[in-house]
Amino acid sequence: MTGGSREERPARRGPPEGRPPGPSHPAAPRVTAPAGRRPPPGREPGRPPADLPPGAWDLIGEAVVVCDPSGVVSGHNRAARTFFPRLRAGEKLSGPAAGPLAGAAERGEESFDAPFAGRRLVGHRTVVEGRTVWLVRDASAVREREDALLAERSRSAFLARARGEVAASLHHTRAARALVRAAVPELARTAALLLPPRGPRVPWHLAGPGSAEYSGEVPVQTLDRTPRVAAALSGLDPRLVPCPRQELDALHVITGRLPPGDGKDGEALLVPLSGSGDPAGALMLLGPGRSAAAPGGRGTDVELASRFAAQAGTALAAADFYTRQTRTTEALHAGLEPQPLPEAVPGVRLGAAYRPARGALDIGGDYYQVCRRSGGGVEFFLGDVCGKGVEAAVLTGRVRQTMRALTLVERRPVRVLELLNTVMLEAGEPRFTTLVTGSARPHREGGLDVVVAGGGHLDPLVLRRDGRVEPVEIGGTLVGVLPDPVFARERVLLAPGELLLLYSDGVTEARGGRTGSGMFGEERLVKQLSACGGMPAGAVAERVELLVSEWLGEREVSDDIAVLAVQAAPPSAEAHLSRAHPVGERIKEEGR
C-alpha cells in the first residue's frame, strides 16, 4: 500500500490483436513490457503539454511540493495546501509547516509515512531536472481499513482458537473450564462461568490473569438475590447486559477471587450462553480484555463476546448432552461388565481375561462368571452369545442373571442348561448362546473335583502337571434353539497345580499371524498352554490373551476374547491361605 509508482507499473501485454488467447496458442508470448517502452500517445513522461494551464496542478489528488536545491519551496498544489496549511512558497521547509516531509528532507530520506495534523500522510521524493518533487497522499482511510481488517482477523483467529479449545473435550466440566480459560485475556481480564443449577447447587468456574483457575459451587438460593444473573442463566433473555454491583457482591464467593480492581468499577458484562435454545450457562466478563485495548476498541468488545458466547454455548451444551448420555450408558454398562472373580477361595486359584471387540459399549457377546459355592469351591460358566454389538451385550446380561439365579436353586449343571434353554425359548429370544458351566469343589485327597456341562461351546482344556493338555469333550446342543436339547456332563479331577481352561471362539478364530489371515487355532493354543506349567491361573489367562493379541497384531479385534482358568491351588499356596489376603484386585478389570 505504500508504493507510489502507479504510472510506471509494468503492464502485462495481451496477445497480439486478431489472435484470441487460449490453449491453441501455447507459445503466445506472455512477457511483461519494460516500463515506459511504449508509452501511450500524449503521455510522454516529463513532457507536459506546452499549453497546460497552471491551475491543472490543483486537479491532482495528491499533494505536490516542489523545492529548489537549497530546500526552498518553489511551488505546491491545492492538495498540498490542504495537508500543510502553513506551507508557503519561497520559504524553506520547516517542521511546523511541513512536519514529516520536512523531517524526511532534512534526513535525506526518499519517503515518509507518518501522522500529521489529523491525517496519515505517505510521501515519496523524486528529482526532476535538479528540482526535488514530493508527492504526498492521504492514507488515513486505507490505514483505518487495514486496522479494521487486522482487528477482524485477530477476532476470527481468537474465535477459531477458542472453538478448538472449548469443543476439544466432551466432558462437561472440562469443557466449562476450557471455556473460561479461552475467554481470558482476549475478552476479559477475568471470566467466570455459572452453570445451570444441579439440584441445590450452582457450579461455577473462573479463570483469571496468570493462569489462575478456580471452581466451586454456590447454593441455588443465591440466585434469588441476583435477578440478572438468574435471568442470564435461565436462557430467557439472550441479551448481553452489564452486571450490577450488588449482584457481584452477592456472588462474592466467586468475585472474591478477582484481582483487585476487576468488577469493582462496574466493568462486568453478563453473557447468556445457550445451546440450541436450552440454557447452557452464564458467562461473566470482568475487567477489560485485550480486545478492548485494540485500536478502535471501546470497553468490552460486545460483538466479539456474543459471537464467542454463541459458539461456546453450543459446545458446552453438546458436552452436557454427551455427559448425561454417558451417565445413562455407564449405568447400563455396569450391569453387563464381567464381575470381579471371587477372592481367596480355599483350594482354588482363578484367572480371567476379557477383551471385547471394539465397539461403542466396550462390551460384547462373550461372558463369564465365577461365584463362591456354598459348601466350598466355586461355580462358574463361560459363554458366547451369537452376534455382536449392543443387542448381544444386553442378552449376555440376561443370560448371566438367569444362570446365577438357576445355579442358586439347581446344582446339576445339565439341568441348569435345560432350564436356561426353556427360559430363552419362552422369552422368544431370537438369539442363542453357547456356554460351558460347571463347578469345582476341593477334593478330600487334595486338588479339585470338577464337573462341567456343555451347550454347544468349545471343549474346555485341561493342563496336567506334566504339561499334557487334554480336551474335556462335552459337546451339547446350542442353548435357546431346540425345544428338547441334549446336554452332557463330564467329571475331571485336577491335581494340585493343574488347571481347566475355558475360552471363547475369539481365541481360536483370531485371524492374523505372518500371513495376516491364518487362524490362531486350537493346535497353537494347546501347544502354548502346555508351556504354561507351574504358572498361576491369572498369569495363564493373561498369557492366552497376550498371545492372541500378538497374533492379531495391528489388526482390529473383530471378535470378543474371553478366557477363564480354574486351577487347583498348589500345595504351597494352600499353606498361605490361612491369612486370606484380598489379592484379587485384578488389573485387567480396571477401567473396563
Residue numbers of the site for another protein (CB under 8 A)? 165, 168-175, 178, 211, 213, 322-323, 326, 330, 358, 362, 514-516, 531-532, 534-536, 538-539, 542-543, 546, 549, 554, 570, 572-573, 576-577, 579, 581-588, 590-592
Nearer to another protein, 446 or 570 (CB): 570
Nearer to another protein, 139 or 507 (CB): 507
Does residue 117 sit in helix, strand or coil?
A: coil
Half-sphere exposure for 371 (CA within 13 Å, toward CB) = 16
Nearer to another protein, 14 or 553 (CB): 553
Count the residues in the chain.
Answer: 592
Dihedral angle computed from the Cα positions of residues 141, 142, 144 and 149, in that order, rounded to the nearest 10 degrees = 140
The string of DSSP letters for 8-62 reads TPPPBP-PPTTS--STT-TT---PBPPTTSSPPTT--TT---TT--GGGGGG-SS
Q: How far is the CB of 95 from another protein (least distance, A)?
A: 50
Q: How far is the CB of 559 from another protein (least distance, A)?
A: 15
Q: How far is the CB of 588 from another protein (least distance, A)?
A: 6
Q: How far is the CB of 545 from another protein (least distance, A)?
A: 9
Nearer to another protein, 10 or 216 (CB): 216
92: left (phi over 0), alpha (psi -120 to 50) or beta: beta
Q: How far is the CB of 213 from another protein (least distance, A)?
A: 7
User: Is the distance from CB of 539 to CB of 351 less than 8 angstroms?
Assistant: yes
Query: CB-based contacts of 577: which residues, under 8 Å, 6+ apart?
Result: 344, 346, 569
Q: For residue 289, which amino acid is it? A: G
Half-sphere exposure for 226 (CA within 13 Å, toward CB) = 27
Query: CB-based contacts of 57: which residues, under 8 Å, 6+ apart?
Result: 64, 75, 77, 78
Nearer to another protein, 257 or 489 (CB): 257
- Give Cα 495 distance to the centre of its chain: 53
User: Is the distance from CB of 348 to CB of 543 less than 8 angstroms?
Assistant: no
Q: How far is the CB of 561 from another protein (least distance, A)?
A: 12
Nearer to another protein, 135 or 532 (CB): 532
Dihedral angle computed from the Cα positions of residues 327, 330, 331 and 336, in that order, rounded to the nearest 10 degrees = 170
Nearer to another protein, 53 or 591 (CB): 591
Nearer to another protein, 347 or 538 (CB): 538
Question: What's the rounded Cα separation, in Å, for the pair 561 and 532?
Answer: 19
Q: How far is the CB of 572 from another protein (least distance, A)?
A: 6
Nearer to another protein, 174 or 443 (CB): 174
What is the number of other CB atoms lying within 10 angstroms of the CB of residue 211?
Answer: 8
DSSP state of 92: B
Q: How far is the CB of 330 from another protein (least distance, A)?
A: 7
Q: How far is the CB of 562 from another protein (least distance, A)?
A: 16
Q: How far is the CB of 514 from another protein (least distance, A)?
A: 6
Question: What's the rounded Cα separation, in Å, for the pair 387 and 96?
Answer: 90
SS (H, E, C) 176-240: HHHHHHHHCCCCEEEEEEECCCECCEEEEEEECCCCCEEEEEEEHHHHHHCHHHHHHHHCCCCCC
Query: CB-based contacts of 492: which residues, under 8 Å, 6+ apart?
Result: 450, 451, 452, 462, 472, 500
Question: What's the rounded Cα separation, in Å, for the pair 353 and 339?
Answer: 12
Q: How far is the CB of 167 from another protein (least distance, A)?
A: 9
Does residue 273 sit in helix, strand or coil?
A: strand
Q: How far is the CB of 526 from another protein (least distance, A)?
A: 14
Question: What's the rounded Cα separation, in Å, for the pair 273 and 226?
Answer: 17
